[in-house]
Structure 1
Amino acid sequence: MIDEKRNVVIAAAFPPPLHGLAKISESVASDLAEFAHVHRCDLSSRSLRRSWGYHWRRISSVLAAAVGVLRNGLRPNPCLYIPADGGFGLVYTILLTGLARLSQQAIVIHHHSFSAIDQRRWLMSALVSIAGNGAVHVFLCQTMQLRFRKNYRGEWRGLISSNAVHLSAAPDTRLPESDEIRIGLLSNLTTEKGLYLFLDLLRACVQCGLPITGMLAGPIQFEEDRAAVEAAQCQLGARLIHVGALYGPDKDEFLAGLDVFVFPTGYHNEAQPNVVFEAMSASTAVITFARGCLSEDVNEDCGPIIDPSNDFVSAACAQIKTWSDDRKSLAAAKAAAKERFTALRATAAADYGNLLCAIADLELPGS
């Protein structure tokens, strides 16, 4: 009997270390194994700390993956699935994609960053050209795909696969309602991820006399950021609480204890942060900047999506005051966030099935 399953090389970073992209690559590899022969080429450097050792491990892993891609070209019905690297790391993606194209393999490129979406970049142009019109490009949301098509012309095929499919709904462990409004930020606590805007927002709400508590969760890497949090705690007292890094059930409990998740990210390449989905799944209203896919994933029923050119603190403070004066509207926003996540995850599950079919060269459902 002839084995007709497609041979798929997945050239991606796998855990450890465990981060968002590695987790998704692991999910794709595991789920795809039911439909195709999966051959892993691990591009992980085994560390997030940049050093000479880091770069040497990256180069070594890419060279080993190059051998794996070429070997796959000798197998029947070969395919390369590869996440597009960011910045100059796209050179590695281009190398492996070029080898797959030379050996006449199907190519699926998964985009996880807006670094080359909002502006045309020559490395991404080279990748799109080398991958060719037969390639499949995978995006996190429709907004991402539309902006990509605007900057990179071609007859390539586009698919959507949201990160929401890789997340489970948070357990129903909400705390009892309180007279105070609990706002929170969970992230790496840096300027780029909105730490200082969060602290300014909390100060503004306190000055307005709002009954509010600010909750911070996440590691603080830089000493100046730690000093800023400590200074704010001295100023605000019990109004500001930092609980440190949280994982698993502790993270779920933190998000469930919030009324409003505040995400004033200044990260220009922000794409589709899982933590916003996690907050929504915990029935938490959201106030965020409109970056990446956030303006599509979070609708206004869940909370305001603020243009990055606008004053975040003023807009967010005004919304929190409205919710403080009208607790029914806050409850409605929290319920809408949960409903929105549920709907997004259902759509994402169908889209993810289409992605697996495209990689495995199977007929799409309903076609």
Structure 2
Amino acid sequence: MTQHHADTSKITGESHRAIFVVAAMPPPVHGQSVMNLIVADSIRNYSPNNLTISNIAPSSSNILVYHLSRISRVTIASLRILFSPRRRISVYSVYESGFGFLYNLLILISARVRMADVFIHHHTSEHCKRHSKRFAVVNWMAGVHAKHIVLSDQMKSDLQDTYGTNLLIRVVNNGSCLSGIPKIDPNHKIFDGSISLGHLSNLTPEKGVADVLSIFSELRSRGCPVRLELAGPTADPSIEKAIAEFSALGDNYFRYWGPVFGERKADFLSKVDIFLFPSRYKYEAQPLVLLESMAYGAFCIAYEAGYIPELLSSTGFLACNREEIIDFLSSSALTPTYLIGESGRAIASSLQFRTEGRRQLELLIEDICNKAQGG
């Protein structure tokens, strides 16, 4: 699925202001980095001569190199803002969870010194649902005129309830990352009398892979006609061992795809009837992979983490634990006819999110670019 760039053709005129995008770009590829790239490319389409992109993604997973590379990249980005020759400046960045908020502060100090217009994109949920002293400091440093970008209406409501209704907030859902809805016939989703389960993520226990493997194993022990398509990177030895053991079942029952991108990712998603996402990740917000799975007609089953309930408000199944998922999947009500109907609803829902997200993204880019015209 290719990326969507906002249509900024209606925004005209040459800017007298510098626009700085300070954010992690792919690789690695995940929802946040994809959105960062789309925002940067959309601004570039409008004003290429005024845009400076500072990629602050770490250059290594090694803990020492990780932080040294990030510190150096954030410092360089901050100095670029501080010493920009332009009088007017706009800065777009992303709120960093955990101790990453220190990087936010370094960027914001430079932005405030230069009296820049600040745009902060929120891709994590924990600080929205519960008061965070770290974000409170970032919010204070950003100033009362900073614009905050969130992923859903409930996320906006939570942020205002937690930190004050005076926050300036714009909603841009992750459907804006979908370039289009593939032409899927829901009737093709059921094949050979079996159901194809799927899971794609960073394969860690907190993101749900352990529960997925447990659910698959239990369903097989109950005689349910299921197979599992599994994809994503993993560095956990226990998960690697479990994958190796399940691989002995053969491709007719279990297939591990490894990391998937581009056409290979599309091929993976096209083979999934039911997408499992039992994530307990504390920062979970609005997983792009759920929207992508829905676009391919998958019936999505997930835990009620972050703002997933808003994604699955009109389709899919929300659960609190693995037992609820197992009972649901082994139910006699889960017929091919039922899944075909749900597949159609999933596609329609993803289309709605995409249409709304594209409109929201265009308004955001227009906001950034209109400010950059000197307003």
Q: TM-score, normalised by structure 2?
A: 0.87
Aligned pair 1:292/2:303, yes or no?
no
Other structure's SS at 2:297 match: coil
Amino acid at match of 1:40: I
Taking the TM superposition and a 5 Å limit, the aligned residue runs for 1:27-176 are 27-36=38-47, 37-47=50-60, 49-72=61-84, 74-153=85-164, 155-169=166-180, 171-172=182-183, 175=188
Matching residue of 1:320 = 329
Distance 2:51 2:230 in 1: 41
The alpha-carbon deviation at position 105 of structure 1 amounts to 1.3
Other structure's SS at 1:262 match: strand
Q: Structure 1 residues 213 and 290, CA, compared in 2 at 3 Å: closer, same or farther?
A: same
Amino acid at match of 1:31: S
Amino acid at match of 1:281: A
Where structure 1 has 5 or more consecutive residues not aligned to the other structure, the ranges are none
Distance 1:332 1:208 in 2: 25
Amino acid at match of 2:113: L
Distance 1:154 1:102 in 2: 26
Q: Which has the higher mean CA deviation after the structures are superposed, 119-128 or 51-60?
A: 51-60
Q: TM-score, normalised by structure 1?
A: 0.89
Other structure's SS at 2:62 match: coil
Distance 1:128 1:113 in 2: 15
Aligned pair 1:21/2:32, yes or no?
yes
Distance 1:362 1:60 in 2: 29
Q: Which has the higher contact order (CA 8 A, sep 6+)?
A: 2
Aligned pair 1:351/2:364, yes or no?
no
Are the aligned partners of 2:190 and 2:336 in contact in 1 as well (CA < 8 Å)? no
Matching residue of 1:329 = 338
Matching residue of 1:215 = 229
After superposition, the CA RMSD in angstroms is 2.4
Are the aligned partners of 1:87 and 1:115 in contact in 2 as well (CA < 8 Å)? no
Are the aligned partners of 1:187 and 1:219 in contact in 2 as well (CA < 8 Å)? yes
Q: Which has the higher mean CA deviation after the structures are superposed, 326-335 or 336-345?
A: 326-335
Distance 1:360 1:323 in 2: 54
Are the aligned partners of 1:173 and 1:253 in contact in 2 as well (CA < 8 Å)? no
Are the aligned partners of 2:18 and 2:88 in contact in 1 as well (CA < 8 Å)? yes
Matching residue of 2:6 = none
Task: Please list the CA deviations of residues 179-198 of structure 1 after superposition, one character each: whole Å capped at 9, or x if unmatched.
Answer: 11111111222211211211
Task: Please list the CA deviations of residues 218-258 of structure 1 after superposition, one character each: whole Å capped at 9, or x if unmatched.
Answer: 23322111222334455899533323332221221121111
Q: Structure 1 residues 68 and 358, CA, compared in 2 at 3 Å: closer, same or farther?
A: same
Are the aligned partners of 1:323 and 1:329 in contact in 2 as well (CA < 8 Å)? no
Are the aligned partners of 1:169 and 1:278 in contact in 2 as well (CA < 8 Å)? no
Distance 2:170 2:144 in 1: 14
Other structure's SS at 1:198 match: helix
The alpha-carbon deviation at position 177 of structure 1 amounts to 3.1
Distance 1:171 1:323 in 2: 30
Matching residue of 1:201 = 215
Task: Please list the CA deviations of residues 310-345 of structure 1 after superposition, one character each: whole Å capped at 9, or x if unmatched.
Answer: 3x2222223323476532111111111110000000
